[in-house]
Structure 1
Amino acid sequence: MQSRTRLVFLTWVFSNLILTAAIEPISTGIAVGMAAALTGLLASYQNVFYYFQECCRPEWISFNRTGLQVDLEQKLFGQHIASKVLLKAVSGFVNNKNPKKPLVLSLHGWTGTGKNFVSQLIASSIYKKGMSSSFVHQFVATVHFPHSREIDIYKTQLQQWIKGNVSSCARSMFIFDEMDKMHTGLIDSIKPFLDYYEMLDGVSYRQAIFIFLSNAGGESITQVVLDFWKNGKDREEIQLSHLESAMSLEVFNNKNSGFWHSSLIDKNLIDFFIPFLPLEYRHVRMCALAEMAIQNMEKDEDIADKVAKDMVYSPKDERVFSSKGCKTITSKLEYYK
């Protein structure tokens, strides 16, 4: 609104200068010179304003592949599969000038393994304002869609929200958290937006990014990692092919998941099912040390050990994986300060 007011004011000044030149011939030279300057200002004003007000332009939306790669390597622990797949998937999509459909990623695994964190890293690598960008939209199932009896209302609202935001900026990002708690059938309402349509009612969704976060699939992921551990194999040997099929099948057949018998899976509209492996003691230590750096604390290996030992580990007999991943690291550090 302020920019429009300023533009109207400049236009008024410009018009009055032209009128002055017509009435007072003696000042024509000065008026014409000022008019020319104002014409240039009017032409460039909007471009200058773009640097101060977020908008759907390269000044505010520009993919930083190197930044994402460094963040994944240095800030995400124990997730070699997710790091590799996400970097390739996001880079390939954003650099593709003519994608056939939106990018659709589904991240699965136990709580505290980094799913939300990775979403933030992706947003920061694309949008100058990261998660605070007006083009990044996050939905939490239990907050935004709490009542099963209102599912039809939610479907209509969700379609309107996505259409309206993509109409405003084609490179919009939508993050759906707690998919395992979403009402069955709700997410299918956005299927047309994820499909291979060039246009829907005059809107193209092909530049948009959709990210789903879910604990569903965590059991099959954990079982594979545990089997590798029992057989003395390094977890870094685990490949996406070891997990993707069983994981997607578990999610599809989980009646308590928002993806239960979902057309998004049935019609192969999810580009990548990305597993987040359960974290071990060493990863929790790394999380603790990283959080110390974020809080400007002096690096303390002993405290990192104490924090890691305080976590609950499973299975009960083997005690291999942190049940909460790195989720409570911050509060644990507060205790040992």
Structure 2
Amino acid sequence: MSDGDSSTSASLTEGEGGREADGGGEGEVAGRQSPAPSVSSFSSSLRAVVRIKQKYLAMKKRRQEALLGPGPEGAPLGAPGKTSPRIFTFDGLPPFSNLPQKKKKKRRKRVLYPTRGGRRAPPKQEQSRAKYCLYLLCAIVFLQVYNAIENLDDHVLRYDLEGLEKTLRREVFGQQGAVDGLLFHLKDYLSTYVHNKPLVVSLHGPSGVGKSHLGRLLAGHFRSVVGETLVLQYYVLHHCPQEADALRCARDLSALVSETVGRAEEEEKIPLFVFDEAEHMHGEILDALLRLVAAERSNEHLNAVYLLLSNLGHRHVTRHVLHNSSGAAAGRQGSLARELTPALRDSLGELHPLWAEAELLPLGLLEKSHVMECFLEEMTREGFYPDHANIERLAGEIEYYPEVGGHAYSKTGCKQVVAKVNLL
């Protein structure tokens, strides 16, 4: 491009600047009347853009040199210093062992974060020290209860009630309801040593149903577990046959019972007192027994078992069994005590207040099959051959009530069995 063209472009740019400085009215008129742009005006605009870019690059370069610092002596400010290229060799390098070793970073365990849908754990609260005291108290109570249960089991095992149950079920015939009631009272009473009153059990029923036999079995079992001296069998017709001696017999009986109970207290055992034929007891003896079993006695008289055997109330038992013989045998055995106890308690309460302190257990009538079992047991004990035909013949000689509901009940129970076997 020539100098004339540059001057022309410069004049054009100055003219354009002047025109721009003029008022807005002249600009609008010039805009409406200006022709299409020419080539010369486009080239002048391009040259202006190039000059602006060159100035920008020069300013940028000077700023970078100022940041790098002053160059070598004699060089202008910002001029790059001359450096000679360095040749790399392995001489002068420290040995590899002296080089600083980069420490290996320990690999941290991966932290697992809960999922967004999981439940957030509540903030941990400080536990009170009183909780530890509560835990200790619970442990002490548990040990005490466990020890008490163990002591109860040990106390029951001392009297071997399982062996007693097997003996009674094997040798007492037709009285399963009374046997169950007696075992229930004994287990409940003998499970602990501290009581608020003695256990008094009274067995009632007609003659020959097994009252005396059951008392002998119970006395023999207690002799084997607590000793001979802690078991007393009192037969009224033997120990006090005369009514005139009733007061003396009552004093002797009270002294004997107190002595036995005191000995049992020293050995920490529970004695057994069996009173057979209690229907023949005189009023003075009944009064003495009532004072012994009353709850206001001293502690040592509260730990004892009294067993009363009598045929008092046998009419109620006989009437009830004969009138209700149409039911099943198991049902009669289970309901006999429940149905007869209220009537027996009312009738016996009129005789003496001692029976109000006792647990009443009625014994029902024996059927012909029970009498045959008594014959079989007695013949086996005496060494006779247990012939079924002979046993049935002997059982047929016993007197029975009229058959009711398909059951034949013996009037004398098994009372004549021993005499008939002795005649063989």
Q: What's the counterpart of residue 344 of structure 2?
A: 247
Tell me how far apart the structure 2 counterparts of residues 104 and 329 of structure 1 sit (CA, whole Å).
Answer: 30
**Pick from 225, 234, 241: which aligns with 2:328?**
234
Tell me how far apart the structure 1 counterparts of residues 321 and 271 of structure 2 sit (CA, whole Å).
Answer: 35
Q: Deviations over 1:69-111 (max 9, x none)?
A: 1122221111121011011111211122322211101011112
Q: What's the counterpart of residue 285 of structure 2?
A: 186
The letter for the 2-side match of 1:286 is E
CA contact (8 A) 2:400 2:410 kept: yes
The letter for the 2-side match of 1:312 is E
Tell me how far apart the structure 2 counterparts of residues 210 and 72 of structure 1 sit (CA, whole Å).
Answer: 18
Q: What's the counterpart of residue 168 of structure 1?
A: 263
CA distance 1:277–1:209, change in 2 (3 Å): same
**Pick from 346, 356, 363: which aligns with 1:276?**
363
Higher gyration radius (CA)? 2
The letter for the 2-side match of 1:279 is L
1:153 corresponds to 2:251: no
How far did residue 233 of structure 1 move?
1.1
Tell me how far apart the structure 2 counterparts of residues 62 and 298 of structure 1 sit (CA, whole Å).
Answer: 38
**Pick from 395, 405, 408: which aligns with 1:308?**
395
How far did residue 220 of structure 1 move?
0.2
What is the SS of the residue equivalent to 1:66?
helix
The letter for the 1-side match of 2:319 is Q
How far did residue 153 of structure 1 move?
1.8
Tell me how far apart the structure 2 counterparts of residues 214 and 251 of structure 1 sit (CA, whole Å).
Answer: 11
CA contact (8 A) 2:274 2:307 kept: yes
Q: Deviations over 1:219-257 (max 9, x none)?
A: 10111110111xx2123212111111112223333xxxx
The letter for the 2-side match of 1:233 is G
How far did residue 320 of structure 1 move?
3.1
Q: What's the counterpart of residue 64 of structure 2?
A: none
How far did residue 287 of structure 1 move?
0.9
What is the SS of the residue equivalent to 2:415?
coil
Q: What's the counterpart of residue 325 of structure 1?
A: 413
How far did residue 184 of structure 1 move?
2.7
1:138 corresponds to 2:233: yes
Tell me how far apart the structure 2 counterparts of residues 123 and 140 of structure 1 sit (CA, whole Å).
Answer: 13
**Pick from 281, 286, 303: which aligns with 1:207?**
303
Tell me how far apart the structure 2 counterparts of residues 64 and 246 of structure 1 sit (CA, whole Å).
Answer: 34
Alignment of 1:53-92 (within 5 A): 62-92=158-188
CA contact (8 A) 2:197 2:293 kept: yes
State, as a whole percentage, how many aligned pairs show the same letter.
25
Q: What's the counterpart of residue 375 of structure 2?
A: 288
CA distance 1:98–1:317, change in 2 (3 Å): closer
Q: What's the counterpart of residue 16 of structure 1?
A: none
CA contact (8 A) 1:220 1:250 kept: no
CA distance 1:126–1:144, change in 2 (3 Å): closer
| TM-score normalised to structure 1 length | 0.71
Tell me how far apart the structure 1 counterparts of residues 315 and 236 of structure 2 sit (CA, whole Å).
Answer: 21
CA distance 1:88–1:187, change in 2 (3 Å): same
CA contact (8 A) 1:292 1:298 kept: yes
Gapped runs of 5+ residues in structure 1?
A: 1-57, 254-259
Question: Which structure has more RCO (C-alpha within 8 Å, separation ≥ 6)?
Answer: 1
Tell me how far apart the structure 1 counterparts of residues 263 and 243 of structure 2 sit (CA, whole Å).
Answer: 30
The letter for the 2-side match of 1:163 is S
Tell me how far apart the structure 1 counterparts of residues 282 and 349 of structure 2 sit (CA, whole Å).
Answer: 14
Q: Deviations over 1:257-280 (max 9, x none)?
A: xxx1x2223xx321x111111111
How far did residue 140 of structure 1 move?
1.5
Q: Deviations over 1:101-146 (max 9, x none)?
A: 111010111121111111122223333179x822211111222222
Tell me how far apart the structure 1 counterparts of residues 158 and 414 of structure 2 sit (CA, whole Å).
Answer: 30
Q: What's the counterpart of residue 223 of structure 1?
A: 319
Tell me how far apart the structure 2 counterparts of residues 194 and 246 of structure 1 sit (CA, whole Å).
Answer: 23
Tell me how far apart the structure 2 counterparts of residues 296 and 129 of structure 1 sit (CA, whole Å).
Answer: 29
CA contact (8 A) 1:216 1:250 kept: no
CA contact (8 A) 2:229 2:260 kept: no
Q: What's the counterpart of residue 55 of structure 1?
A: none
Tell me how far apart the structure 2 counterparts of residues 151 and 127 of structure 1 sit (CA, whole Å).
Answer: 28
The letter for the 2-side match of 1:322 is S
Gapped runs of 5+ residues in structure 2?
A: 1-153
| TM-score normalised to structure 2 length | 0.57
CA distance 1:127–1:172, change in 2 (3 Å): same
The letter for the 2-side match of 1:174 is F
Tell me how far apart the structure 1 counterparts of residues 330 and 284 of structure 2 sit (CA, whole Å).
Answer: 36
What is the SS of the residue equivalent to 1:291?
helix
